[in-house]
Amino acid sequence: MRIAVLDDDLLLLEQIKGTLECHHHVCHTYADGTSLLKALRHDTFDLLIVDWHLPDMEGTEVVQTVRDMGGMQLPILFITRRNDERDVIEALSRGADDFMSKPLRMGELVARTTALLRRAYPESMGARMAFGAYSFDADKRSLSVHGQPIELKNREYELALFMFRNAGRLLSRTHLREAVWGDGAETPSRSLDTHMSRLRTKLELTEDNGYTISAIYGMGYRLDPVGAPALHRAPGQQRAATTETLSG
């Protein structure tokens, strides 16, 4: 999963980053609220970890802004040295999903992030998954449509699985490249576009089959179930964002 961590303690940032990456997450760190909010205008994450006291604003302001920007479903873990009951209530009432007091215990941090991710993205946890006409077997790395097996190259399969596991969510180009090609991979931008176009053709992603793929200008891609609203709209992406249906 892709996690953003916001804290002005650089040593703690590195400790959290190292711990989460040891558990196979991709972790991006930010030392002030402005930097994180700026990143959320063009990038997406699966979870936010936010400190209370920051150089430029309070963490509660960051959480409230993320919620106001449209990130209502994005799980947020609040961390702080404040542990009074009133502080917990304020953090949760401003939009945090969970609360941890410093000093952090890394084992508990991992357990809490895992629990938040499991609740937010239940489709990401199973080996066998069915999405209407589309059936995946992650153990066998196979995909079938209406019971017919589809031949996909390795990256095509990884991308298809990731998109269906996150159906309804807007995913940034960087998010997709990291998830499929790996953290820090030097992947040409057109390679992602080419893979998306091939998936649309090979998987027949049309309204008749229940799913369509859309390119969101300046942001990334979204796989939508036909007739269903987007489940996780990225912060900063308003309802009137320009959307282009991906052509073959």
Is 56 in contact with 34 (CB distance < 8 Å)?
yes
Residues 191 and 237 in one domain: yes
The count of domains in the chain is 2
Residues 87 and 143 in one domain: no
Residues 101 and 187 in one domain: no
- φ, ψ for residue 207 (rounded to 5)? -60, -35
Question: pTM of this prediction?
Answer: 0.82
pLDDT of 243 reads: 45
pLDDT of 186 reads: 61
Residue ending a domain, among 93, 120, 147, is: 120
Average pLDDT for consecutive 10-residue bins of the chain (248 residues)?
A: 96 97 95 96 95 94 90 90 86 92 96 94 72 91 94 94 92 93 69 93 94 92 80 49 45
pLDDT of 242 reads: 40
Q: Which domain holds residue 238?
A: 126-245
CATH number at residue 34: 3.40.50.2300
pLDDT of 183 reads: 66
pLDDT of 185 reads: 56
Residue with tokens 């357990």: 111
Residues 113 and 155 in one domain: no
Residues 142 and 233 in one domain: yes
SS3 62: helix
Residues 170 and 109 in one domain: no
Residues 38 and 100 in one domain: yes
Residues 135 and 187 in one domain: yes
Residues 136 and 112 in one domain: no
pLDDT of 69 reads: 85
